[in-house]
Amino acid sequence: MPEFTGPATRFSPDAIQRAADDIGCDVAAVKAVIDVESRGGFLPDTRPKILFERHVFSKRTGGRFDQSHPEISSREPGGYRGGAAEYDRLGQAIPLDRKAALESASWGAFQIMGYHHDSLGMPDVEDFCRRMSNSEDDHLAAFVRFVKLNKLDDELCRRDWAGFARGYNGPGFLKNRYDTKLAAAYTVHAISPSRTDGGIQRTLKMGDDGPDVVLLQKKLGLTPDGDFGPATKTAVVAFQRSHDLGDDGIVGSKTRQALGL
């Protein structure tokens, strides 16, 4: 069995919704990141999707292998093969410096670099890789922690795609148009399919508008104008407190359920 093959368990029911509630953003925002970064966390052979970054490997090994192995160690990014072929590149780097090699790949549904293992609360990069090989819920947990640690939750909640992409993908985000790709993916996921129960599927918060906000306002006994402003937030907070739901003013899955939406 190839190394890094694991259970490869897919997202559990409502996992993305719970993560979005934890961050305070729309489910569509989390799904947009998945689309842009990976479109799913695992390859058909059950290994987590990776992308080996030769410029990171070069930096983490002091450039020792730049001359002998320029295809996997270089000051310049590139050399990508994509898909399972990225494991061929990783496989060339592991005998040279296993720790640096594993830290120089981005892993899973959210393509988080291996060198973040310490800040994510994992004892070493080997543990990080085991979790990435386990399940997409593990990928999701790492993503939520990464977003919060790097204070990118506000950008994701505001749908500030340029700000989020800069913090998540680094200064090269403009060259790769990560911000415009995120915006486009969000738009696709934010268009909810038709429902017969008149319910709301997305997280709602200050600044949102549209028919979902109208439904919310009606449930709260407000005059519906479709604008989630201060008055709507005040009503949401009051409802949450009366139902022991916390009082963040964000209408996530628990608040929607209590409202009957």
DSSP notation for 107-165: ETTTTEEGGGTTTTT-SSHHHHHHHHHHBHHHHHHHHHHHHHHTT-HHHHHHT-HHHHH
Q: Where are the domains of the chain?
A: 15-189, 211-259
Q: What is the distance between the alpha carbons of residues 10 and 56, in angstroms, rounded to a whole number?
A: 29
- pLDDT tens for 11-43 read 998 899 999 999 999 899 999 999 999 989 999
| Residue 201 pLDDT | 63
Torsion region of 112: left, alpha or beta (phi above 0 gives left; psi -120 to 50 gives alpha): beta
- pLDDT tens for 175-216 read 889 999 999 999 888 875 444 344 566 788 888 877 788 889
**In this model, does residue 140 exceed pLDDT 50?**
yes
**Mean pLDDT value of segment 65-72:** 98
Q: What is the distance between the alpha carbons of residues 88 and 202, in angstroms, rounded to a whole number?
A: 40
**Mean pLDDT value of segment 79-88:** 96
Tokens (6 digits) for 25: 């953003």
**Over the range 133-158, which residues count as b (16 or more CB within 10 Å of their CB) and which as e?**
bbbbbbbbbbbbbbbeeeebbebbbe
Q: Is the pTM of this model over 0.85?
A: no
**In this model, does residue 82 exceed pLDDT 80?**
yes
**In this model, does residue 2 exceed pLDDT 90?**
no
- Write down the mean pLDDT value for the chain: 91
